Amino acid sequence: MVVANLIKRSKGLLRSYDDNIKDGESVLSFNKVTGFSINFPIFGTCKPTQVCAARCYYAKGGSSWPAALKKQQRLLNSVKENPERVAKQIVYECRKKQVTYLRWNGGGDLFPESIEALHHVAEMEPRLPIWVVTRIPEMAAEIKEYPNVYVHFSLDKASLKRREQFESMPKKTKNYFFSYQCDKDEMPNKENLNGVSVLFFDKYEPHGQWEWIPKEVLCPLNTREDITNTCETCRRCFNGSSVKYFKTG
């Protein structure tokens, strides 16, 4: 399992690593597909399912290298120490780089101090869409409602009970929707896609008879040969379209 291997390596590298973000160091990360993001380590934040533990893109490549893991941990340490100070740094960098949207958890997942930092950013930069990706019901339920914050709850066939758990909880926001991540060679059934606004095939490669899937649900990453800037041009996850589809679709 790719995530299990990463966590094993991370324990040795990060368990006693207590450095914070350095002066002048950027807190933002960038991905050619999803754009600018705030990235935390998988180790210590994620609660992976069997599917995401095996298929996670973030546990491979550059984001899994020691230098990247240490930066992720430095950011986590800094947020835990002073969420508001990190939030101010995020806003400063977003303005300087003219960021048009921010993905929260390009990697890693929510924890209490990161939610506090998120709330500060949303208040300081109300025109910046913030796209929050999570798999943890109890954390997602704590995100306050802001018109620029969209909670993207990621599901797969091994975590459908998390949707039931999240839906049964009192929540502080109505700006949320669900996505579904396919396992290797999986063709999801209609029941599993009930209430889902965004579908990702494994490695973004559709197979089998998938034409029945509504175009509003099928992420364009699944159908483009060049996926560069796909999230920037689509924007459905952070312009209200996916939230609206969940509520009315």
- pLDDT tens digits, one per residue of 160-191: 999 999 999 999 999 999 999 999 999 999 99
- Model pLDDT for residues 44-64, shown as the tens digit of each residue: 999 988 888 888 888 888 888
Q: Report whether pLDDT(1) > 80.
A: no
pLDDT above 90 coverage of the chain, percent: 81
Mean pLDDT rounded to a whole number for the chain: 94
Distance CA 154, CA 179 (A): 5
Is there a contact between 106 and 94 (Cβ–Cβ < 8 Å)?
no
Residue 248 tokens read as 């009315």
Query: What pLDDT was estimated at residue 244?
Result: 96
Q: Is residue 91 part of a domain?
A: yes
pLDDT at position 67 is 93
- Structural domain for 208, as ranges: 2-13+26-248
Residues 6+ apart with CB under 8 A from 166: 137, 140, 141, 153
Tell whether 108 is covered by a domain.
Answer: yes
18 within a domain of the structure (yes/no): no
* 153 neighbors 135 (Cβ within 8 angstroms): yes
In angstroms, the first-to-last Cα distance of the chain is: 35
Is this model's pTM higher than 0.75 or not?
yes
- Residue range 205-239, pLDDT digits in tens: 998 888 899 999 999 999 999 999 999 999 999 99
- In the predicted model, what is the mean pLDDT of residues 31-54? 92
The backbone torsions φ and ψ at residue 234, rounded to the nearest 5 degrees and listed phi first, read: -85, -60
Per residue in 7-16, pLDDT (tens digit) is: 888 888 888 8
Residue 170 lies in a domain: yes
Contacts of 81 (CB under 8 A, 6+ apart): 20
Please name which of 70, 71, 39 lies closest in space to residue 56, comparing C-alpha atoms: 39
Domain-embedded: residue 107:
yes
- Domain presence at residue 228: yes
pLDDT tens for 67-102 read 999 999 999 999 999 999 999 999 999 999 999 999
The tally of domains found in the chain comes to 1
The pLDDT value recorded for residue 148 is 98
| CA quadruple 11, 132, 127, 37: dihedral sign | positive
pLDDT tens, 186-209? 999 999 999 999 999 999 999 888
